[in-house]
């Protein structure tokens, strides 16, 4: 039976968390309350803070022995992740709190598989929630008032959150594609033609999962690879590497491609949209880039053309990651350009910059029968390039 976890600091938010638990039980959901408090108060939760703290790699004292609240919260968050990782009975999770409570619950929510319902009511949910949500499917709800006592506002907000979780848990979505292997694809607006063509063809034999290459998109795909939910990757849009190395707003992390390295899933990759670094509105671009070439994609997105030197750096970074992969790898270099706007007569067409990228990859990748770099005489965002990628994908899967 799926069980909902109601998690938070019961020593300070006990009334509010108990209210959530009561509503869930009234809706027909089985509940276990979990205390994450670090103040040492006697817990009224089903699972006390000491039981969670025991899951910390260094034991209870590493969590509850701190006088410093910040250190204690950080240690309890680590302990709660370990608790969740060893609890296969969790069918959903909800938490509520301020910045501290949010920091306690969010990492454990992120460790749950994608698809397990997760609701987090937070005082910080109206701001930048990326550090809390990450590549997961956490639903964050702004608390409006502080999570401090029950009143006419908090009752409604917390009640809506509880009933949202109940609705998700009691109305699970059937997985209609379980009989097909899942494949991850990365896409950007300027690689849509190629990736959409591939996805449309693969759907007959696979469950194609397309991820928007916005930094978090790549992380989400790799989270699913690590969890065994994606068995092969068509990573044609690696633009997140450019933002990471140059300073754009859609950066990868240093672990980009790490899931492929760890799992050895078949990998077909390319250099999609490495001709650009992404920024917000034009007036948000750092002054140090004032003399660069720009293209305003829309009022909220400004693209900056990458240089030959930057492309060499991208190629060297990618090659180092490819060399760590021990599964089947095919990496494709599109000689006609790396995006829709790097085609002939388009605004970012720069054959010299592309050549620097290609040369860096070819020069640094240790090619074997398993790991190959191939040149393709087409622009990446074309059906012709997509067909080559499909051919390579079928050869290694």
**Is the distance from CB of 328 to CB of 370 less than 8 angstroms?**
yes
Residue 64 binned pLDDT confidence (cut-offs 50, 70, 90): confident
Taking the CA of residue 58 as centre, how many other CA atoms within 13 Å lie in the half-sphere pointing to its CB? 9
Q: Single out the residue of 10, 13, 4 nearest to residue 154, CA to CA.
A: 13
**How far is 116 from 47, CA to CA, in rounded Å?**
20
In degrees, rounded to 5, the angle at the alpha carbon of residue 271 between the alpha carbons of residues 268 and 273 is 130
The answer to whether residues 218 and 129 belong to one domain is: no
The answer to whether residues 120 and 205 belong to one domain is: no
The answer to whether residues 291 and 251 belong to one domain is: yes
Instruction: Please give the share of the chain, as a percent, with pLDDT higher than 70.
Output: 98
Q: Single out the residue of 362, 364, 346 nearest to residue 380, CA to CA.
A: 346
For residue 106, give the CATH number of its domain.
3.40.50.12020
The answer to whether residues 294 and 377 belong to one domain is: yes
The answer to whether residues 130 and 193 belong to one domain is: no
Q: Determine the pLDDT at residue 342.
A: 98
Mean pLDDT for all residues in the chain: 94
Question: 323: burial class by Cβ within 10 Å (0-12, 13-18, 19+)?
Answer: middle
The answer to whether residues 336 and 232 belong to one domain is: yes
CA distance between the termini of the chain = 36
pTM reported for the whole predicted model? 0.81
What would the two tokens of residue 31 be? 């509940």
Q: Determine the pLDDT at residue 66.
A: 66
365 is a domain residue: yes
Predicted confidence (pLDDT) per residue in 84-120, tens digit: 999 999 999 999 999 889 999 999 999 998 889 999 9
Buried b (16+ CB within 10 A) or exposed e, 136-173: bebbbbebeeebeeeeeebeebbeebbbbbbebbeeee
Residue 22 binned pLDDT confidence (cut-offs 50, 70, 90): very high
Q: Determine the pLDDT at residue 177.
A: 59
175 is a domain residue: no
Range 166-174 average pLDDT: 91
176 is a domain residue: no
Predicted confidence (pLDDT) per residue in 262-305, tens digit: 999 999 999 999 999 999 999 999 999 999 999 998 888 999 99
**Is the distance from CB of 353 to CB of 291 less than 8 angstroms?**
no
Range 206-219 average pLDDT: 95
Which residue(s) pair with 372 in the sheet?
330
Residue 195 binned pLDDT confidence (cut-offs 50, 70, 90): very high
Higher-pLDDT residue of 2 and 269 is 269
Residue 178 binned pLDDT confidence (cut-offs 50, 70, 90): confident
How many domains does the chain fold into? 2
Of the residues 170, 193, 211, the one at which a domain ends? 170
Instruction: Please give the share of the chain, as a percent, with pLDDT higher than 90.
Output: 85
Q: Determine the pLDDT at residue 368.
A: 97
Which residue(s) pair with 30 in the sheet?
3
Q: Determine the pLDDT at residue 288.
A: 96
Range 230-247 average pLDDT: 98
The answer to whether residues 193 and 163 belong to one domain is: no
Q: At residue 214, does pLDDT exceed 60?
A: yes
Predicted confidence (pLDDT) per residue in 317-362, tens digit: 999 999 999 999 999 999 999 999 999 999 999 999 999 999 999 9
227 is a domain residue: yes
70 is a domain residue: yes
* Owning domain of residue 106: 3-170
The answer to whether residues 287 and 207 belong to one domain is: yes
Place of tokens 């799926």: 2
Q: Determine the pLDDT at residue 67.
A: 67
Q: Determine the pLDDT at residue 1.
A: 57
What would the two tokens of residue 181 be? 């292997």
Residue 2 binned pLDDT confidence (cut-offs 50, 70, 90): confident
């Amino acid at each position: 039976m799926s069980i909902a976890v109601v998690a938070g600091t019961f020593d300070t938010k006990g009334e509010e968390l108990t209210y959530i638990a009561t509503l869930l039980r009234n809706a027909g959901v089985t509940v276990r309350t979990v205390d994450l408090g670090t103040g040492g108060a006697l817990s009224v939760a089903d699972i006390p803070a000491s039981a969670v703290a025991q899951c910390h790699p260094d034991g209870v004292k590493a969590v509850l022995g701190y006088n410093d609240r910040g250190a204690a919260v950080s240690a309890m968050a680590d302990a709660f992740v370990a608790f969740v990782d060893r609890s296969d009975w969790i069918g959903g999770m909800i938490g509520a709190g301020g910045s501290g409570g949010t920091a306690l619950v969010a990492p454990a929510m992120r460790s749950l598989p994608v698809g397990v319902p997760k609701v987090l009511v937070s005082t910080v949910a109206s701001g930048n929630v990326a550090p809390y949500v990450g590549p997961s499917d956490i639903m964050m709800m702004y608390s409006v008032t502080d999570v401090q006592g029950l009143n006419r506002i908090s009752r409604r907000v917390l009640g809506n959150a509880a009933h949202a979780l109940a609705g998700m848990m009691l109305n699970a979505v059937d997985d209609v594609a379980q009989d097909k292997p899942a494949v991850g694809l990365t896409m950007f607006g300027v690689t849509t033609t190629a990736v959409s063509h591939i996805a449309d063809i693969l759907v007959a034999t696979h469950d194609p999962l397309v991820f928007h290459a916005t930094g978090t998109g790549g992380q989400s795909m790799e989270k699913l690879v690590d969890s065994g939910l994606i068995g092969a990757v068509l990573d044609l849009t690696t633009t997140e590497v450019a933002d990471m190395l140059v300073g754009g707003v859609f950066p990868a992390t240093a672990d980009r491609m790490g899931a492929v390295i760890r799992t050895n899933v078949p990998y077909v990759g390319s250099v999609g949209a490495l001709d650009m670094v992404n920024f917000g509105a034009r007036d948000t671009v750092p002054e140090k880039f004032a003399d660069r070439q720009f293209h305003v994609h829309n009022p909220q997105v400004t693209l900056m053309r990458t240089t030959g030197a930057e492309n060499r750096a991208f190629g060297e970074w990618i090659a180092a990651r490819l060399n760590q992969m021990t599964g089947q790898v095919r990496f494709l270099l599109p000689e006609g350009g790396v995006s829709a706007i790097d085609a002939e007569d388009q605004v970012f067409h720069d054959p010299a910059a592309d050549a620097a990228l290609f040369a860096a990859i070819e020069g640094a990748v240790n090619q074997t029968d398993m790991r190959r770099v191939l040149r393709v005489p087409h622009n990446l965002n074309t059906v012709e390039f997509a067909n080559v990628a499909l051919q390579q994908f079928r050869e290694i899967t």
